[in-house]
């Protein structure tokens, strides 16, 4: 683990252990080499532009507690800079900066016109009441706003580990109270509840994006062959780590829509294994009721959850946190395809080993970009002050109805109901969000494939994704110049 430093001091590289930031940097440097990038541009691109550390007091149950939080802006070649805020008992400046860097590359890969940012608050949210969490979140947000690290045009947070709609609603409201004159106040944060300016489909977006990425991989027989995979996603044996917002939606969709077999679920308190598949929805209900995966009747429980990463499977999906596949377990990883739903789950040196073994990895900066993609849709929706589909839905319906009438009168036959319904249905916001997300993931995959074809020696998806990102970001530096 790279982030054992709970005091928030930066982890520096040593020979045996490199920080999360260094791990990301080393991976990106492979792309610099391929592109023969000007060293000055490379240095400018890697540098984290600014990081603020905040220590702020909050009165909790009559006692004052001081909290520590960070917001790092890695890049601002596009504005606003974008990225989640995580609440965790272990988070530090290096981690936040590494995650901010990943946001920069992620946005470039999926053509989302944002810079990269990330925030973190050192807190165990399970230890506080909802009222206290609200107080803490509002104070943190107010400090960020005052210091210029939160606004619709400069820096727009979103959910991440330990945060969700609830926190985003508090943040949005705090901003609105401080800036009631800003007509675009709702765009100061994404991942809000729909009733407060959020967009339909944002909560499931990262998990759904993961699934769209996997489906696209399965549409490329050459890529499948390299990974030693055949056939369709149906029946593929999947191990997933983390049943949080990302892992839950990814696993559920893979099981319910693609008929994949989820043979193991790894959580904080252990792992559940069942070779015949675990029903994700019923497991989720069990977790909601009992707060643990323990005691779930339809699978075998093992206390040593981490060891389940080593199970033989077709697809391994780490969807929890960084540094899960490291030098310590990489030699025992027994899968054909790793799909990085989490940020940074494979360390640099583990990645080198997996590459040399020819294990295919779909990298984080591509795979989990669905979250920020739909955040982009939400931000645009907020700026345009209108729900997607509101103007055209009934018009499309009427046109569909005319089409059916025309077809039926020419053919003198009645169309089956399901075709009628499909033709007549105008797209609502959720349809459009899903369509935009699918399109984004497919287009990005195409760009990764082209980068692999065009650059000799770039065979793996991670280097390809950084080649794509670095090229785009470098252009914005060279076109505009550095002053
Ligand atoms: N926290 C998510 C991520 O790591 C979403 C960021 C966003 O939507 O801005 O990609």
Task: Give the DSSP per-residue string, 389-446.
Answer: TTTTHHHHHHHHHHHHHHHHHHH-SPPPHHHHHHHHPPP-HHHHHHHHHHHHHHHHHH
Please write the tens of the pLDDT for every residue from 16-59: 479 999 999 999 999 999 999 999 999 999 999 999 999 999 99
Answer yes or no: 118 catalytic. Answer: yes
Tell me, yes or no, whether 470 lies in a domain: no
Query: Taking 60 as the threshold, does the pLDDT of residue 6 lie above it?
Result: no
Query: Taking 80 as the threshold, does the pLDDT of residue 8 lie above it?
Result: no
Q: Which two tokens stand for residue 1?
A: 């683990």
8 lines ligand 1 (CB under 6 A): no
CA–CA separation, 337 vs 316, rounded Å?
6
Tell me, yes or no, whether 276 lies in a domain: yes
CA-angle at 452, arms to 362 and 320, nearest 5°: 10
CA distances, 241 to each of 197, 288, 335, 392 (Å): 31, 17, 14, 41
The answer on 211 and 183 residing in a single domain is no
Tell me, yes or no, whether 331 lies in a domain: yes
Query: Taking 50 as the threshold, does the pLDDT of residue 3 lie above it?
Result: no
To which H or E segment does residue 50 belong? strand 50-60
CATH number for position 166: 3.40.50.10860
CA–CA separation, 420 vs 432, rounded Å?
20
Indicate the pLDDT class of residue 131, thresholds 50, 70 and 90. Answer: very high
The answer on 249 and 137 residing in a single domain is no
CA–CA separation, 16 vs 10, rounded Å?
16
Atom of ligand 1 nearest to the CA of 376: 8
Q: How far apart are the CA of 435 and the centre of ligand 1, in A?
A: 19
368 lines ligand 1 (CB under 6 A): yes
The residue segments making up the domain with residue 87 are 2-193
Q: How far apart are the CA of 432 and the centre of ligand 1, in A?
A: 20
The answer on 292 and 230 residing in a single domain is yes
Q: Which two tokens stand for residue 448?
A: 């990764």
Tell me the sheet residues that pair with 455.
none
Q: pTM for this one?
A: 0.95
The answer on 280 and 259 residing in a single domain is yes
Q: How far apart are the CA of 210 and the centre of ligand 1, in A?
A: 13
**pLDDT at residue 1, rounded to an integer:** 29
The answer on 238 and 149 residing in a single domain is no
The answer on 45 and 169 residing in a single domain is yes
Please write the tens of the pLDDT for every residue from 428-480: 999 999 999 999 999 999 999 999 999 998 999 999 999 999 999 999 888 87
Q: Which two tokens stand for residue 190?
A: 């994404």
Q: At what angle do helices 429-454 and 205-217 cross, to 10 degrees?
A: 40
Query: For 131-253, where are the E strands, in sequence order?
Result: 155-159, 237-241
Residue in 82, 106, 118, 192 annotated catalytic = 118
Indicate the pLDDT class of residue 208, thresholds 50, 70 and 90. Answer: very high
Protein residue with least CA distance to atom 8, ligand 1: 372
Indicate the pLDDT class of residue 5, thresholds 50, 70 and 90. Answer: very low
- The single-letter DSSP state of residue 362 is E
The answer on 256 and 171 residing in a single domain is no
Percent of the chain with pLDDT over 70: 96
CA-angle at 85, arms to 81 and 88, nearest 5°: 150
Q: How many independent structural domains does the chain possess? A: 2
Please write the tens of the pLDDT for every residue from 311-331: 999 999 999 999 999 999 999
Mean pLDDT of the chain: 95
The answer on 256 and 141 residing in a single domain is no
């Amino acid at each position: 683990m790279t982030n054992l430093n709970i005091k928030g001091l930066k982890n520096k590289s040593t020979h045996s252990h490199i920080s999360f930031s260094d791990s990301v940097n080393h991976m990106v440097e492979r792309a610099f080499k391929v592109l023969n990038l000007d060293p000055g541009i490379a240095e400018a691109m890697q540098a984290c532009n600014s990081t603020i550390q905040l220590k702020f007091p909050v009165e909790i149950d009559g006692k004052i507690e001081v909290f520590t939080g960070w917001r790092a802006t890695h890049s601002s070649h596009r504005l606003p800079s974008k990225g989640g805020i995580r609440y965790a008992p272990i988070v530090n400046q290096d981690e936040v900066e590494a995650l901010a860097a990943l946001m920069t590359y992620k946005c470039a890969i999926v053509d989302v016109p944002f810079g990269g940012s990330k925030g973190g608050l050192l807190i165990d949210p399970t230890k506080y009441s909802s009222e206290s969490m609200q107080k803490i979140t509002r104070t943190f947000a107010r400090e960020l706003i005052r210091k210029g690290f939160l606004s619709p045009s400069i820096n727009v947070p979103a959910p991440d580990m330990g945060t969700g709609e609830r926190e985003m609603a508090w943040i949005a409201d705090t901003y609105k109270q401080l800036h009631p004159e800003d007509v675009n106040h709702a765009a100061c944060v994404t991942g809000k509840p729909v009733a407060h300016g959020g967009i339909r489909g944002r909560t499931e977006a990262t998990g759904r994006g993961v699934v769209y990425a996997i489906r696209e991989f399965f549409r490329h027989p050459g890529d499948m062959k390299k990974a030693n995979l055949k056939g369709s996603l149906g029946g593929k044996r999947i191990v997933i780590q983390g049943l949080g917002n990302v892992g839950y939606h990814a696993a559920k969709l893979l099981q319910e829509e693609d008929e994949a077999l989820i043979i193991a679920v790894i959580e904080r308190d252990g792992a559940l294994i069942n070779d015949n598949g675990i029903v994700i929805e019923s497991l989720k209900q069990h977790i909601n009721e009992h707060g643990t995966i323990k005691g779930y009747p339809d699978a075998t429980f093992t206390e040593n959850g981490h060891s389940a990463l080593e199970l033989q499977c077709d697809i391994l999906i780490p969807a929890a946190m960084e540094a899960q596949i490291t030098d310590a377990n990489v030699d025992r990883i027994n899968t054909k395809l790793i799909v990085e739903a989490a940020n940074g789950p494979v360390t640099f040196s583990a990645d080198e080993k997996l590459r040399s073994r020819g294990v295919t990895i779909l990298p984080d900066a591509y795979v989990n970009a669905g979250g920020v993609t739909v955040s982009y849709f939400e931000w645009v929706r907020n700026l345009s002050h209108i729900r997607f589909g509101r103007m055209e839905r009934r018009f499309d319906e009427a046109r569909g109805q005319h089409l059916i009438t025309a077809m039926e009168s020419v053919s003198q036959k009645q169309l089956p109901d399901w075709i009628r319904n499909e033709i007549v249905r105008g797209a609502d916001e959720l349809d459009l969000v899903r369509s935009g997300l699918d399109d984004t993931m497919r287009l990005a995959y195409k760009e990764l494939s082209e980068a692999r074809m065009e650059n000799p020696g770039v065979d793996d998806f991670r280097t390809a994704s950084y080649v794509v990102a670095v090229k785009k970001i470098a252009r914005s530096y060279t076109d505009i110049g550095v002053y």
